Amino acid sequence: MKETLKATLKARATPWLLLAATLTATAAFVLRVYQEKGFPNAELEELSLRIHERARDYGKGLRLIVSGDPVMGANLLRSTTDRMSVAAEECMRMEGCGIDIFFDALSAVLQEQRTGTAEVVSAGVSRTSVPPAAQAQPTDQPWASPALPEMSRAVSLLRGIDLRELIILNGPVKRALNDWLTWNRPRLADAYENYLFLREETAPIYQKADLPEALLFALMAQETGVKVHAYSSAGAVGPLQFMPSTGMRYGLVYVGGFDMRLDPVASTKASAEYINDQLARFNNDVEKTLAAYNGGEGRLARLHRKLTSASFWDPELYYSVPTETRNYVPAVLAAAWIFLHREDYDLEFPELEVGTTTIVLREEVSIGELTICLGQERNRSGWFRTLRNLNPRLKGDERIEAGEKIRMPSMLVPTYVERCAGSSPLLALARELHDAD
């Protein structure tokens, strides 16, 4: 069976519909064999079921293109490509996964799909009939697995020093831990889920700056709960809450009428640069750096010059900063500590596929309308915040023209194809509510 599959995959001229049928049948064969003989473990069983589902979605995408819906078909192919490639890599890393040739071959075929839909010609659809924006193409952002293989140890390293060695679990930090794990736990859970969908773009920025990912998450969680469109009464804006003057110093200006403080990638870059500047100023003192981030670097610089040898926790310095800053510093440290020790506190977050895909809209729709028709698929709170975070330049209540691109979680594309186009009753309801006065 494996040799037959390899031959099929290497046949570049194989019609796409036949190839899709072969992949689907092969996935079904693999699944049936394991069901008859028993899976080596539950993890492999779950992965095999996912592979089978992805193969079906791939076939659906090809059928949509052949039946005259190239936009939705290309969207589904693009999403399935990302998700199937990740499943193949997951199998390669999984102990006991004995179907490597199958997954390797699938990954190769799906990668070829990224070069275009020319092969669809063999099924009777010319490439020229597929709008350029809808033709299969690589996603704008590379897929990163949910774990990002933890980027080695970059998740915890600050200039080569493990952040866990720098955080002092004193009274204020322990109180902050208590807050995050009790009344503020819902905010922590929401922040973590919001962060996962921005992680593939933002975490490598902190890694490159020699800063720990745990600190990035903690700052975003404390500042805004990882909400990109956040505004404070004091004038701070964005997921990392830059004030106008500080934002301008670090390149967060208006571009084409858009406030770059709202861009999660740009604001993360600015944040990394700012944190490193303050660490240099305060002799790598994390607490003083965080105090400067919240309470103003000028105030901390004066205190630092006056009390050079004092730590942030020294009463003379500690009680010289505003109450907000005295609460802020331990809250960020506690959030970072939890990020690094989730298992110690029995914290369980939903297992999510956090890869994102850029799709082309088949028809005019707003993010709000998308949220309604996507429902609560794998997210108890719905997808409004995630879609807004992934598309910071788009307003939630303004319709986006057909043919425009939008980023969304890859796992939602099949739901989008099924529920958010044409005669979908949910989409009709969403439009009715959108147009209500």
Instruction: Indicate whether 328 and 365 sit together in one domain.
Output: no
Q: What is the pLDDT of residues 182-208, one digit of tens each?
A: 999 999 999 999 999 999 999 999 999
Instruction: Indicate whether 382 and 422 sit together in one domain.
Output: yes
Instruction: Indicate whether 69 and 199 sit together in one domain.
Output: no
Provide the 10 A C-beta neighbour count for residue 46. Answer: 12
Q: Tell me which residue has tokens 């670097």.
A: 297
Instruction: Indicate whether 117 and 12 sit together in one domain.
Output: yes
Residue 144 lies inside a defined structural domain of this protein: no
Alpha carbons 285 and 30: distance in angstroms, whole number: 55
Domain finish residue from 303, 322, 345: 345
- pLDDT means per 10 residues in the chain (437 residues)? 40 43 51 53 73 78 84 87 76 64 49 46 42 42 40 69 90 97 95 94 96 97 97 96 96 97 98 97 95 94 92 96 97 96 85 86 95 88 95 95 94 91 88 90
Alpha carbons 199 and 349: distance in angstroms, whole number: 15
Residue 101 lies inside a defined structural domain of this protein: yes
Alpha carbons 436 and 432: distance in angstroms, whole number: 6
Residue 48 lies inside a defined structural domain of this protein: yes
CB distance 401 to 361 below 8 Å: yes
Instruction: Indicate whether 325 and 365 sit together in one domain.
Output: no
Residue 46 lies inside a defined structural domain of this protein: yes
Domain finish residue from 290, 315, 345: 345
Instruction: Indicate whether 244 and 302 sit together in one domain.
Output: yes
The SS3 of residue 69 is coil
Residue 333 lies inside a defined structural domain of this protein: yes
Residue 141 lies inside a defined structural domain of this protein: no
CB distance 17 to 123 below 8 Å: yes
Instruction: Indicate whether 96 and 192 sit together in one domain.
Output: no
Count of domains observed in the chain: 3
The pLDDT value recorded for residue 84 is: 76
Domain finish residue from 316, 345, 374: 345
The pLDDT value recorded for residue 157 is: 80
Instruction: Indicate whether 196 and 246 sit together in one domain.
Output: yes
Rg (CA), the chain: 25
Q: What is the pTM of this model?
A: 0.78
Instruction: Indicate whether 89 and 200 sit together in one domain.
Output: no
Alpha carbons 384 and 374: distance in angstroms, whole number: 10
Q: What is the pLDDT of residues 97-137, one digit of tens each?
A: 655 535 544 554 455 454 444 444 444 444 334 444 444 44
| CATH code: domain of residue 249 | 1.10.530.10
CB distance 215 to 158 below 8 Å: yes
Residue 145 lies inside a defined structural domain of this protein: no
Instruction: Indicate whether 174 and 275 sit together in one domain.
Output: yes
Provide the 10 A C-beta neighbour count for residue 387. Answer: 23
Instruction: Indicate whether 63 and 178 sit together in one domain.
Output: no
Instruction: Indicate whether 166 and 87 sit together in one domain.
Output: no
> What range does the domain containing 60 cover?
1-136
CB distance 31 to 49 below 8 Å: yes
The SS3 of residue 285 is coil
Cα-flanking dihedrals φ and ψ of residue 414, to 5°? Answer: -60, -35
Residue 436 lies inside a defined structural domain of this protein: yes
